[in-house]
Amino acid sequence: MAAKKLPTDSAGRIDRSRFSGADGEIWRFFIENYFLPVDAEIRQLIRTKIHLLESGILPKSFEDFFSHEVEFEALHKLWKQKGVASPEIRGPGWPKEFESDVKTVLDRLRLQHQAFLLRLGASGNK
């Protein structure tokens, strides 16, 4: 959604180097009203459901997400509360494998859940 309102590069990613006029305000709006709240929900969901992961081991992309999320939030708060911009700090960004890993984990959990329900149904018919 933000990429539809802001300048992007050839890959379709938001290009802050091309911001002009109100683009900074639009970007901050998306950060505060979309990115930070969604990231916080994702963080909370992973942390409260970690027991569902095999052996409790986080995929590397989940750990990378936590690093990205905390840095993104801290730098935004530094700017918002102290007026200190940090454009020179380029973090790792959104983990490339995150969506794929989430899908893999979710698919596995759904299969396990279905298998459990089938076993319950089978044992209830005896």
pLDDT digits (tens, 9 = 90+) for 87-102: 888 888 899 999 999 9
pLDDT value at residue 7: 92
Residue 65 or 126, more confident: 65
Check if the beta carbon of residue 71 is closer than 8 Å to that of residue 44.
no
Say what the pTM is: 0.81
Contacts by 71-76, CB closer than 8 A, 24 or more apart = 72/35, 72/36, 72/39, 73/36, 73/39, 73/40, 76/31, 76/32, 76/36
pLDDT value at residue 125: 54
Structure confidence at residue 104 as a pLDDT band (50, 70, 90): very high
Residue 56 or 116, more confident: 116
Where do the domains of the chain lie?
2-124
Residue 122 has pLDDT above 80, yes or no: no
